[in-house]
Amino acid sequence: MCPSKKQARLAIPILTLLTLLLLCYGVGNVHCSTIHENRVDLQALLDFKHGVMDPSGALSNWTLNSHFCRWNGVECTTTPPFRVHGLQLTGQSLSGQISSSLGDLTFLNYLDLSNNNFVGPLPLLGRLQQLQILYLYNNNLSEIIPDDLTNCSNLTALGLSSNLLVGSIPPKLGLLANLVYLNLRSNQLEGSIPGELGQLKLTTLILGDNRLSGEIPKAFFRLFSLQHLSLEFNMLGKALPSNIGELLPNLKELTLENNMFEGPIPASLGNNALGLQMIDLSSNNFTGQIPTSLGKLSNLTFLNLQYNQLVARNNQDWEFLNSLRNCRSLESLSLAYNELQGSLPPSIGNLSTSLRKLLLGGNSLSGQVPQSIGKLSALSWLGLGNNNFIGTTEGWIENLKNLQRLFLKWNNFAGPIPYSISNLTQLAILDLRGNEFDGPIPASLGNLSRLQQLYLSNNNLQGAIPPNFGNIQGLTLLDLSHNNLQGAIPPIPSEFSNLPQLTELRLSSNRIFGEIPTNLSECQELSVIELDQNILTGSIPLSLGNLATLNILNLSHNNFSGFIPTTLSSLELLAHLDLSYNHLQGEIPINGVFANATAVSLNGNWGLCGGVKDLHMPSCPAVSRSIELKLYLTILLILIFGFVSFVMSVYVILLKKKKSRRPYLILRSFGKKFPRVSYKDLAQARGNFSESNLIGRGSYGSVYRGKLTQAKKQVAVKVFDLGMKFADRSFISECEALGIIRHRNLLPILTSCSTIDNRGNDFKALIYEFMHNGSLDTWLHQKRYSVSAKLLGLAQRISIAIDIANALVYLHHDCERRIVHCDLKPTNILLDDNMNACIGDFGIANLLGYSSSSSSVAVTGTVGYIPPEYAQSVHASTSGDVYSFGIVLLEMLIGKQPTDSMFEGELNIVRFVEKLPRSNVTYH
């Protein structure tokens, strides 16, 4: 049966109603989204989302699966038609441009997209008649503020600060009749402040940190309701109206710092704007006296008048200080850098007991600091620097127990630094520079555990640096320069290794002696080291090259000797290096800071040579000429005084020149752990140890030549013959020796290998750099080796002798442990591409001082080279090596081996040379 027409007519409205009801219900539901009545808002939001980059997924639930009223940050009206009422997406890392589609959200009341990374122009929102709050601050929005914005006639709060907006402030903003809050701080707005703003009912006006210029418009002072006026960091100028307090009686905050205001501080501020809590007029050109009326501001917490030209010459001028005692809430007062003169009135002690910051530096205050200042026991920051105060700090300082920063610099305070200063346990910065404090530095300063910066420079302090400074964990800056301090830099590690944050160490111009502690480099944050004008000695520690953040290094006018560590050239941040007037020698590095002649000062070091051209230093000869000359003379001496004196003299001369020897180069910086190489690598590297790659047989095994494929490096591999007695011990001995030594004249070991070979036997090998010019032996005795004629010239022989002597001096005297080589002979002396000699084969080296390994081992050098005493099983000694060195020298000069068949019976190489007719010595 069909429904009647009447029924049908009734059914249609009911159905419509049901649909509507469903729709309305659907707002809170999932299914309604496709049939939005308010499509406009949906489309506007989707368009907005489309233009936005959303790395943190803030808009991830902005999908058609749910009604937009439930999207993140969207708030809708509570009644139909459920339009977007608010959009708040602050601090969501959103970037991209803000679409002007938001201008279609005509029900929008507030829009907050602050603290994101939006760029581009401000969106056009002129149609948002209901918009009251617009916060787009702290983005990167650019271009001008569009006039269009001024159509949002309901706006009450406009926050566009911290963007990149340019152009001028639109005068039409004056049409926003409801505006009470306007913040355009930190943009790039130019021009003058439009007087039209004076038509508004603003309570807050913040235009600071722009490029605004001109005067404050007169109309402005109609802003009767204004509570907060911030115009700081602009170029605004001229005098303030004297009745500013009457015109703006509701002011609570007035910040005009860093402008070009001049004239007097209007007394009306104190007389009329009684609610003022914060006044900042600093860094302007205000003149005249400080009005006593400021004392009426009972709610004043912050008063900053520093950097003006305010005067106080007599008691009347100083009266303001007395009146400020009524500001019982005052927490911060700065009058620094004005023209206040005379002595500080004792009424200073009557200031608010809440005062935490008092800055009076940079005036012309004189006389003693009134003891009453000690009543300001809440002070955490006291600045009295750059005045003419005299007397001591005794009597008041110990009462300021909450002080965190104390600046007394550049006055005439005298007497000892009071012991009681160590009662100021909160101190973080103590600056007593430029006074006449004398006596020792109280060790009790080391108990100030919160200290970060300690300046005691330019006083008359004496005695030593207290060693307990190292206990101050957080110390970042220590400046003790220009005093009469004596003694060594306190030893490390007990002291400075505890200073992990130290960035500046200044000890210039004292009488500090001794060496730089090598562990200074454990203060890894150091960027400034100034130790100039002291009497420091020793060499510049290589470890300074570990200070990656080093920016300034000044070691000038000391007695440093030795060479310039090449490690300094790897410091990328090093911009100033002054090593002038020391006794440094050797070649100047050419890279890093040394490449810039203006950044480096090396004058007054007579032993330096080389370096980049702009340094205008003498170039370095291949062998230093003076050394060559001395050796030449020495060799002549042999011929005159005979063999014994010769050997002893070379050794002794080189020992004496220990400090001035040619630079050691760190050839590589592997630690005690060597890089790993497998047996397979090695076997491959030298053709499975075939005879064709054999380049010699050492004391305990064979030496092969090869190439490491990975490192593409020619190497020599010494394979220990573990069948031989002591070979195992020899491997360990050599590893130990080479593990601790590094010298340009010692054969560099690349790595070691201790494993099982492919037949299951123990396999031990050492891998060295390959020396292309073979051993000294092959050069001295070519007939034995069927190689083409090579001749060593006298200069080369001398250079090789010096290299060997250098290596021995290092082994005997400069090493961590004294090492006796025990087997010095030409086959163990290898020559690199440039004919530099390196001593190799430490297989039987004796590490004097290692109790375990060596002392009982019978010395087993090579006959002919070992001293006669060794035959009586005397323990290995450095003198033994020197004897061997002497034999090698003779061999180099006369070309005969000590084992030559001609030496038999009583005749040995030493006697032979002794008996030679003086004129007959020729070199081979």
Ligand X SMILES: *[C@@H]1O[C@H](CO)[C@@H](O)[C@H](O)[C@H]1NC(C)=O
Q: Which positions touch ligand X (CB under 6 A)?
A: 61, 66, 70-72, 117, 129-130, 138-140, 153-154, 260, 274-275, 284-285, 298-299, 398, 420, 423, 575-576, 596, 598-599
Between CA 879 and CA 886 the distance in angstroms is: 10
Between CA 775 and CA 486 the distance in angstroms is: 52
Q: Within 13 Å of residue 642, how many CA atoms lie on the same side as its CB? A: 6
Beta strands in 221-337 (DSSP E): 228-230, 235-239, 253-255, 260-264, 278-280, 285-288, 302-304, 309-312, 332-334
Task: Please state the closest distance from residue 306 (CB atom) to ligand X, in A.
Answer: 12
Q: Is 896 annotated as a binding residue?
A: no
Helices (H) and strands (E) in the chain, counts: 13, 55
CB 457 within 8 A of CB 410: no
Between CA 349 and CA 778 the distance in angstroms is: 90
**Quick one: how far is CA 734 from the chain centroid?**
40
Active site residue 823: yes
CB 453 within 8 A of CB 474: no
Task: Please state the closest distance from residue 153 (CB atom) to ligand X, in A.
Answer: 5
Measure Cα distances from 8 to 5, 22, 325, 711 in Å: 5, 21, 89, 94
The amino acid occupying position 737 is A
Task: Please state the closest distance from residue 728 (CB atom) to ligand X, in A.
Answer: 55
Nearer to ligand X, 336 or 889 (CB): 336
* Residue showing tokens 């940190």: 209
Between CA 156 and CA 132 the distance in angstroms is: 5
Task: Please state the closest distance from residue 565 (CB atom) to ligand X, in A.
Answer: 20
- Of 271, 279, 326, nearest to 306 (Cα)? 279
Between CA 500 and CA 214 the distance in angstroms is: 50
Between CA 36 and CA 68 the distance in angstroms is: 10
DSSP structural state of residue 676: B
Task: Please state the closest distance from residue 62 (CB atom) to ligand X, in A.
Answer: 8
Between CA 235 and CA 215 the distance in angstroms is: 9
Nearer to ligand X, 138 or 503 (CB): 138
* Residue showing tokens 């020396």: 771
Nearer to ligand X, 258 or 846 (CB): 258
Nearer to ligand X, 276 or 384 (CB): 276
CB 589 within 8 A of CB 566: yes
Nearer to ligand X, 569 or 730 (CB): 569
Task: Please state the closest distance from residue 884 (CB atom) to ligand X, in A.
Answer: 50
Between CA 117 and CA 5 the distance in angstroms is: 63
- Of 299, 244, 256, 260, nearest to 281 (Cα)? 256
Nearer to ligand X, 96 or 474 (CB): 96
Task: Please state the closest distance from residue 858 (CB atom) to ligand X, in A.
Answer: 60
Nearer to ligand X, 66 or 570 (CB): 66
Q: Which of 104, 823, 832, 841 is catalytic?
A: 823
Nearer to ligand X, 136 or 800 (CB): 136
Between CA 124 and CA 103 the distance in angstroms is: 6
- Of 843, 825, 709, nearest to 764 (Cα)? 843
Task: Please state the closest distance from residue 838 (CB atom) to ligand X, in A.
Answer: 37
Task: Please state the closest distance from residue 700 (CB atom) to ligand X, in A.
Answer: 53
Measure Cα distances from 754 to 205, 677, 762, 793, 911 in Å: 79, 9, 8, 41, 45
Catalytic residues: 823
| Known binding residues for ATP | 718
| Known binding residues | 718
